[in-house]
Structure 1
């Protein structure tokens, strides 16, 4: 009996927005935009009493929010900006001048948001989630109205008190919540995984097959634009680390080694670094499933398109298979680095990438091979910490995107070597282990920059 089937849209998993973090940039921007919309619905009496807006950031948002641009993202959302249409250059300009204030429309009243009213609260806050933000409308110190939001990874947000929608089994033609249930649906109805995900997507969104395909093509184009920009852009990434971009250098080396057996790996590394460096610079990327892991799938799809010469239909099928794996992890564990460590971000992206490659290489879409590839990829990211130096999505994050893609490729090779049926560990089992590992992992290693590599810069 399937109690709560997965009803996430492909285009909620793959979202367009500015870097460097889906949970610390895109999520807070969406929450602040939602708060702005709710302010417009308040009574005229409350609107006219108000003279300030305050933002309180807790947990991981407080610990690494500065490096992730959380404060800029909140200002942008309160100004009415949305992730998919934000100009990344304009976003980077926000809060550059500490004396600047920003006009926030509250109904017919305009209130100036002061930078000092964005508070990074390091004290513990009673919350069920690691990334918590409280937005308040005040009259001096009196709170007239407030909302509490949780940024749960991948740009997804939850508002406190909002009734959780319980998915109806009948809301999709082929309901499933685990890989075991998904395989049962595929076998019962003699479907490929991409066909099932496509049919469910059309039912969830009301889009036609052609419209879904068009949006997948658009998502791929956004990914590949990020790769191309990253291959072209040189120089130093923003922030105190002063990290030099490497993608253009690797790309040049790869072109000079076209006859070498290693060249395709160097190309893949260059593509993944390119998209990830664009994310670190605050450029427009696609969450796949998060911004911190937004180099893995773009690098692999770029390789598949321009080196393996897969056609559009094959790439779409691979993307739908990748989405299915992302759904299963999000539904049964988490894709948030603040909850799972980096295994939730790069580990999930690598599993999605392995599923993508496997589906592209096999027209029959063997679910055994796809499951084996995804399981192998996650298994070898278990326990990976999220410990970014300085709170920036740079070290070790950028190189981890390349490493995650290489692991995805190797997982695909292992799964398609004719031994998929011999795999002892199921995807459902490894996702359960992933969730338990994330629960047991010290919060110091989950996007707080309080341990691990994050301390290496101070020890040098």
Structure 2
């Protein structure tokens, strides 16, 4: 566990960008963009000497990077593209022609980036994190400048030498590291959860409350646009699996069964599949907390908006509860599939979704904690074993299942007295971390075991 208070912004947890993977697409794109800025600041003599860029991918970036579009992502970043403003159609077009060379502008000259300059290194690499990418500016095949980055899940990156670099917590009015500490702050200062979270966000980012609220609304708008696009789009998803989209069919079924007791679940499944299928197609989604889990929270918030008819203020309250849970998992375990398996992605998203539903319903922090704990508890040990390295099977349906579990966790947590819950959220996060540490790397986003091997006919 980190020994400093949580300093993650809600807008770092919920980030807009192209699918299909926050750790394999958004993270490497951000790392490549950062490297581009650094080489542009090099002395003119070094830049004039250089003539190419080489990229080396390690860990699951190498194992499943092709299916996740990591090679396209690093090209995009080196071309100066950023996740939140990337055109997904243009992104998918990169590297279509293996003979294309991409000119990378570094000052007044350009250096070449060719497809063969991107190396998927399957050998083990000595690194503190599972997903590592090394960029080299080269002259005559020899490095003249290099940087090493780690993609640690959810689109978060760390540059070597800055592993401990975090925003300062000195000015946080209500610091906390655990749910126990968070609840204590709420009690001591007689605050609501959203009041505390908003005050910390204002101190962390310097943004006023009005702007923060508007940005949260905008994040939900991006989520719901992904749902709506997914409900409209039909056909086959990219990649060799040739998986057909299911969300539009489910949505039409739900509309035809509106008087049936099953329609509620069918609508929820359709919404979650819609956003997740958009992610699999490389569309614009919101990490929640990752791209691989970007169907759970959008599906639940869409349901809350259009079926429960919650207003924007209530939805924002729920988003703060979801963020609090996401922060706690990221800080004390990990949201990375390469570190935790799918319990780190869908498990966290389900817990966040359960907290969202519980707090929107006006329940106290004890019930929010119980719901989140139940959400994680019933994803413990879940593997990340995508077929073909694509974020499709089992990932898409797993988003829908995670949302259904979130709703059930909300029901279970509010059915009795939350104080009677035997396992705390802090305790289950510790178990989650230990489970991820003990899990074989074959089951952590490498496509080397599990469904990735048992369904090779796909």
Q: Same fold (TM over 0.5)?
A: yes
Give 1:402's aligned residue: 400
1:311 CA drift (Å): 0.4
Give CA-to-partner distance per residue, 1:174-213, whole Å, 9 cap, x none: 0000001001001111111111111100111111111111
CA RMSD of aligned residues (A): 1.1
How many residues are paired up? 457
What SS does the aligned partner of 1:458 have? coil
2:80 counterpart of 1:71:
no
What SS does the aligned partner of 1:143 have? strand
Give 1:442's aligned residue: 440
Give CA-to-partner distance per residue, 1:350-404, whole Å, 9 cap, x none: 0000000000001xx4010000000000000000000000000000000000000
Conserved? CA contact 1:272–1:295, under 8 Å: yes
Give CA-to-partner distance per residue, 1:47-95, whole Å, 9 cap, x none: 1111110000001000000000000000000000000000000000000
Equivalences for residues 132-171 of structure 1 within 5 A: 132-162=132-162, 164-165=164-165, 168-171=168-171
What SS does the aligned partner of 2:99 have? coil
What SS does the aligned partner of 1:145 have? strand
1:162 CA drift (Å): 2.2
Equivalences for residues 420-459 of structure 1 within 5 A: 420-458=418-456
2:312 counterpart of 1:316:
no
Judging changes above 3 Å, is the alpha-carbon distance between structure 1 residues 163 and 369 closer, same or farther for their aligned structure 2 residues?
closer
Query: CA separation in 2, counterparts of 1:125 and 1:39?
Result: 24
Equivalences for residues 78-117 of structure 1 within 5 A: 78-117=78-117
What SS does the aligned partner of 1:170 have? coil
Give CA-to-partner distance per residue, 1:127-184, whole Å, 9 cap, x none: 0111000000011221100000000000000000126235655321000000010010
Give CA-to-partner distance per residue, 1:254-305, whole Å, 9 cap, x none: 0000000110100000000000000000000000000000000000000000
Query: CA separation in 1, counterparts of 2:416 and 2:32?
Result: 50
Give 2:383's aligned residue: 385
Query: CA separation in 2, counterparts of 1:163 and 1:4?
Result: 14
Conserved? CA contact 2:280–2:391, under 8 Å: yes
Moved more, 378-387 or 109-118: 109-118
TM-score with structure 1 length normalisation?
A: 0.98
Give 2:352's aligned residue: 352
Structure 1: any 5+ residue segments left out of the alignment? none
Judging changes above 3 Å, is the alpha-carbon distance between structure 1 residues 94 and 53 closer, same or farther for their aligned structure 2 residues?
same
Query: CA separation in 1, counterparts of 2:453 and 2:375?
Result: 28
What SS does the aligned partner of 1:171 have? coil
Equivalences for residues 46-445 of structure 1 within 5 A: 46-162=46-162, 164-165=164-165, 168-362=168-362, 365-445=363-443
TM-score with structure 2 length normalisation?
A: 0.98
What SS does the aligned partner of 2:376 have? helix
Conserved? CA contact 2:7–2:166, under 8 Å: no
Query: CA separation in 1, counterparts of 2:183 and 2:229?
Result: 39
Conserved? CA contact 2:296–2:400, under 8 Å: yes
Conserved? CA contact 1:137–1:145, under 8 Å: yes
Conserved? CA contact 2:7–2:169, under 8 Å: no
Query: CA separation in 2, counterparts of 1:257 and 1:131?
Result: 45
Conserved? CA contact 1:3–1:169, under 8 Å: no
Moved more, 164-173 or 245-254: 164-173
